[in-house]
């Protein structure tokens, strides 16, 4: 069983708890699990849990039914998030690890790191010590290879993960690697598990080729019991009777692990199938099944690789896989993690930077570390915020979009998350108009969030008792087919989460008659019940959010750390044109002549000026800034009320 101790417990109370357990025949081990300080009590002794729970300093007691106590979801219900340098594995992120099977030379690992980093990988993998089936196969470069890998990781701002093959090597390697990998062959090397666990570094634990899920989790238990807090499980295929692939990828293990354990789980599709042409399909299937990330073998010249060349992707194949993952991520309710470079790759030429392009912030978030969103806890904007900045990001809830812009402008928040467009209901013009009122605010990032609407009510409510439904007006539009079936009165609120919160403000007798349309997160945040899930008219329902920040000195704005990897590839601008024939065509021709692809054009009436319109334009940026800068300068001569809203990395 697990005894979770109260925060700030006195040494006397802790000793009394330990004495209580020892007197009853338990073997004890003290451990930290996430933010909790715990005592693990092992053995077949019996104890009254209620009596134990009443002792001073006991927060709660978890009596697990599983032999893997520390790894069990019975011990820790919330998903664990493992931190490796700037990378977080688990939660709402998809984290991609990539690199060669083995480090072959300084040049090879650096080139590979550059290629996978450019495509979006956040952790560099590679073997310095290679356990091989044949004693004559390439065994790796040893410590020299690890030094090459560490240097490549530091040059590209990527933490590294590498395999440790013996307890004796662990001490030598600990200062050169950010994360240890326990390979499939060593999953049940218990002395190695105890040694690596005691070093306290994050560990990537691969499943053995013939291991059951319980055996795999018990190996994770060795690591957790020995001292490390951070374990990531890696499914890499198991040995079956099938011979058409290297192993059989056990996709079903992903949801099973998610039910049994709080630990994050990633998948190694390269070792699972062993055939280059199948790796991407297996990786995408793993993401669809709920994996928190992938570890993929990539080599600049796979046919010349000294190890596992047939299953290593070419960099171009890996880039395509990353694009597919980014497109799939919103469907499974996640966001592809990107991390910032500590240095900006140099660009030649005086016009290499786009207007409003940004430098990553030095150190922490600029101004305030908080990120502003509109609404209450559980709002879709808060979910978008967590996708972009992480679940633990400090946040500032604002009662309106204008107050959100104010918070970013006055420094109360370093960034803001603002919805601007929905795939069903169209543009949110209110927020586009705010960019014109706040010229010192710029768009610096973008992400898409899949919107799954739920009918939420008090536990005493049912479809028969409901008389009133509250939500944002967009929520009503997006759920029209469902709402048309019922004679309910619709009451608009400024935010979907606020609609949910309003139910609790009603008297107990009135609550059964009130429902709200919002996301499941809002129901959890306010302790209410989901009566029906997925009530939106079209399941392909996405909202586009932009990340906003204050321009520095009226020019560049800081880039969100989670979106700092990769150059800006999209820009947004607004302008009006003179009231004369061909004026809009002339503007569009400026972009066409320079082969700048326009991906959105929308008109909007100018308030107070009947029959005059603003044009909102999104474009794909060319690879160099010169053509785009020249186009902007020419556009300013052909337009009126020209506004450059920002350049940023677009979401797929």
Tokens of 530: 């989901």
Mean pLDDT confidence for 288-301: 97
CA 182 to chain centre: 24
| 26 in catalytic set | no
Catalytic residue among 545, 575, 615, 644: 545
66-104: b (≥16 Cβ within 10 Å) or e: bebbbbbbbbbeebbbbebbbbbbbbbbbbbbbbbbbbb
Domains contained in the chain, CATH given: 2-62 (3.30.70.1140), 82-336 (3.20.20.70), 371-450+542-648 (3.40.190.10), 454-533 (3.40.190.10)
pLDDT at 310 over 80: yes
pLDDT at 365 over 70: no
Tokens of 484: 């048309």
Mean pLDDT confidence for 424-436: 87
Residues 6+ apart with CB under 8 A from 19: none
pLDDT at 373 over 90: yes
Between 604 and 289, where is the model more confident?
Answer: 289
Q: What is the pTM of this model?
A: 0.71
Tokens of 339: 């991390």
Mean pLDDT confidence for 306-333: 92
pLDDT at 346 over 50: no
pLDDT at 347 over 70: no
Between 51 and 489, where is the model more confident?
Answer: 489
The pLDDT mean for the chain works out to 87
Catalytic residue among 543, 575, 628, 644: 543
| pLDDT score, position 652 | 53
pLDDT at 471 over 70: yes
| pLDDT score, position 468 | 97
Residues 6+ apart with CB under 8 A from 560: 388, 389, 415, 444, 445, 547, 549
Q: Where are the alpha helices (DSSP H) in 562-624?
A: 583-593
Q: What confidence category does residue 375 fall into, taking pLDDT thresholds of 50, 70 and 90?
A: confident
Place of tokens 């029906």: 532
Alpha-carbon distance values, 467 to 483, 489, 512 (Å): 12, 6, 9
| pLDDT score, position 624 | 67
Alpha-carbon distance values, 106 to 53, 146, 223 (Å): 56, 10, 32
Between 460 and 52, where is the model more confident?
Answer: 460
Helix or strand run (H / E) with residue 574: strand 570-576
| pLDDT score, position 575 | 92
pLDDT at 386 over 70: yes
Mean pLDDT confidence for 65-77: 82
Write 211-216 long-range contacts (CB < 8 A, 24+): 211/187, 211/238, 213/253, 213/256, 213/257, 213/260, 214/67, 214/68, 215/187, 215/188, 216/187
**CB-facing half-sphere around the CA of 382: CA atoms within 13 A:** 24
Q: What confidence category does residue 43 fall into, taking pLDDT thresholds of 50, 70 and 90?
A: low
Mean pLDDT confidence for 143-152: 95
Sheet with 454-457, side-by-side order of all strands: 489-492, 468-471, 514-518, 454-457, 529-533
| pLDDT score, position 361 | 36
Q: How many CB atoms are located within 10 Å of the residue 6 CB?
A: 15
Mean pLDDT confidence for 385-399: 88
* Digit-coded pLDDT (tens) for 532-558: 999 999 888 889 999 999 987 545 555
pLDDT at 224 over 50: yes
Q: 444 with 648: CB under 8 angstroms? A: yes
How far apart CA 296 and CA 311 sit, in angstroms, is 9
Q: What confidence category does residue 354 fall into, taking pLDDT thresholds of 50, 70 and 90?
A: very low
| 460 in catalytic set | no
Mean pLDDT confidence for 378-403: 89
Mean pLDDT confidence for 343-347: 32
pLDDT at 404 over 70: yes
| pLDDT score, position 243 | 92
pLDDT at 367 over 50: no
pLDDT at 264 over 90: yes
Mean pLDDT confidence for 6-18: 87
**CB-facing half-sphere around the CA of 568: CA atoms within 13 A:** 29
Q: What confidence category does residue 115 fall into, taking pLDDT thresholds of 50, 70 and 90?
A: very high
- Going by their DSSP bridges, the two strands 58-62 and 179-182 should be labelled as unpaired
How far apart CA 232 and CA 203 sit, in angstroms, is 6
* Digit-coded pLDDT (tens) for 266-288: 999 999 999 999 999 999 999 99
| pLDDT score, position 535 | 95
* Digit-coded pLDDT (tens) for 589-604: 999 998 899 999 999 8
Q: What confidence category does residue 125 fall into, taking pLDDT thresholds of 50, 70 and 90?
A: very high
Q: 78 with 62: CB under 8 angstroms? A: no
Number of residues that this document lists for the chain: 652
Which among 278, 209, 618 is positioned nearest to 420, based on CA atoms? 618
């Amino acid at each position: 069983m697990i005894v979770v101790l109260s925060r700030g417990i006195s040494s006397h109370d802790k000793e009394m708890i330990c004495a209580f357990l020892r007197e009853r025949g338990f073997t004890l081990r003290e451990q930290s699990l996430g933010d909790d300080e715990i005592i693990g009590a092992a053995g077949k002794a019996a104890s009254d849990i209620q009596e134990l729970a009443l002792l001073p300093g006991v927060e709660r007691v978890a009596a697990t039914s599983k032999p893997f106590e520390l790894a069990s979801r019975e011990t820790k219900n919330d998903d664990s998030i493992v931190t490796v340098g700037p990378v977080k594995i688990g939660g709402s992120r998809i984290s991609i690890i990539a690199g060669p099977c083995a480090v072959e030379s300084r040049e090879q690992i650096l080139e590979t790191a550059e290629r996978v980093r450019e495509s979006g990988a956040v952790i560099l993998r590679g073997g310095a010590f290679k356990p091989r089936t044949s004693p004559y196969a390439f065994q790796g470069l040893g410590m020299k290879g690890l030094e090459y890998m560490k240097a490549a990781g530091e040059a590209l701002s990527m933490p590294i993960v590498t395999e440790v093959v013996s307890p004796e090597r662990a001490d030598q390697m600990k200062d050169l690697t950010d994360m240890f990998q326990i390979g499939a062959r060593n999953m049940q090397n218990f002395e190695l598990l105890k040694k690596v666990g005691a070093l306290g570094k994050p560990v990537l634990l691969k499943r053995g080729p013939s291991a059951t899920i319980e055996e795999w989790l018990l190996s994770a238990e060795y690591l957790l019991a020995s001292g490390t807090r951070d374990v990531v499980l890696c499914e890499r295929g198991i040995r079956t009777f099938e011979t058409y692939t290297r192993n059989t990828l056990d996709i079903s293990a992903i949801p099973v692990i998610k039910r049994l354990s709080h630990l994050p789980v990633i998948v190694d599709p390269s070792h699972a199938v062993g055939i280059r042409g199948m790796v991407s399909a297996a990786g995408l299937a793993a993401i669809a099944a709920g994996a928190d990330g992938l570890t993929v073998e990539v080599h600049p010249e796979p046919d010349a690789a000294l190890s596992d060349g047939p299953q290593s992707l070419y960099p171009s194949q890996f880039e395509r896989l990353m694009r597919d993952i980014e497109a799939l991520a919103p469907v499974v309710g996640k966001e592809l993690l990107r991390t910032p470079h500590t240095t900006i790759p140099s660009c030649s030429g005086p016009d290499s930077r786009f207007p409003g392009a940004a430098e990553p912030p030095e150190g922490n978030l600029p101004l305030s570390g908080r990120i502003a969103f509109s609404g209450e806890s559980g709002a879709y904007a808060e979910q978008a915020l967590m996708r972009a900045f992480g679940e633990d990001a400090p946040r500032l809830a604002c009662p309106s979009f204008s107050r959100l812009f104010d918070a970013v402008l006055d420094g109360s928040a370093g960034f803001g998350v603002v919805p601007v467009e929905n795939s069903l209901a169209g543009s949110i013009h209110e927020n586009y108009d705010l960019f014109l009122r706040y010229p010192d605010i710029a768009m610096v990032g973008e992400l898409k969030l899949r919107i799954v609407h739920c009918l939420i009510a008090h536990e005493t409510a049912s479809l028969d008792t409901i008389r009133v439904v509250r939500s944002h007006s967009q929520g009503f539009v997006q759920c029209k087919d469902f709402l048309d079936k019922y004679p309910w009165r619709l009451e608009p609120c400024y935010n979907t989460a606020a609609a949910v919160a309003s139910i609790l403000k009603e008297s107990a007798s009135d609550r059964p008659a009130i429902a709200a349309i919002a996301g499941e997160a809002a129901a959890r945040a306010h302790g209410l019940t989901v009566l029906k899930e997925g009530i939106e008219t079209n399941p392909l329902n996405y909202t586009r959010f932009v990340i906003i920040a204050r321009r520095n000195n009226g020019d560049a704005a800081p880039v969100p750390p989670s979106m700092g990897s990769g150059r800006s590839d999209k820009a947004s601008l607004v302008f009006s044109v003179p009231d004369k024939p061909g004026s809009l065509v002339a503007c569009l021709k400026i972009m066409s002549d320079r082969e700048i692809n326009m991906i959105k054009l929308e008109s909007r009436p100018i308030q107070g000026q009947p029959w005059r319109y603003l044009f909102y334009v999104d474009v794909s940026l060319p690879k160099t800034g010169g053509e785009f800068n020249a186009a902007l300068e020419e556009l300013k001569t052909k337009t009126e009320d020209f506004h450059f809203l920002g350049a940023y990395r677009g979401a797929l």
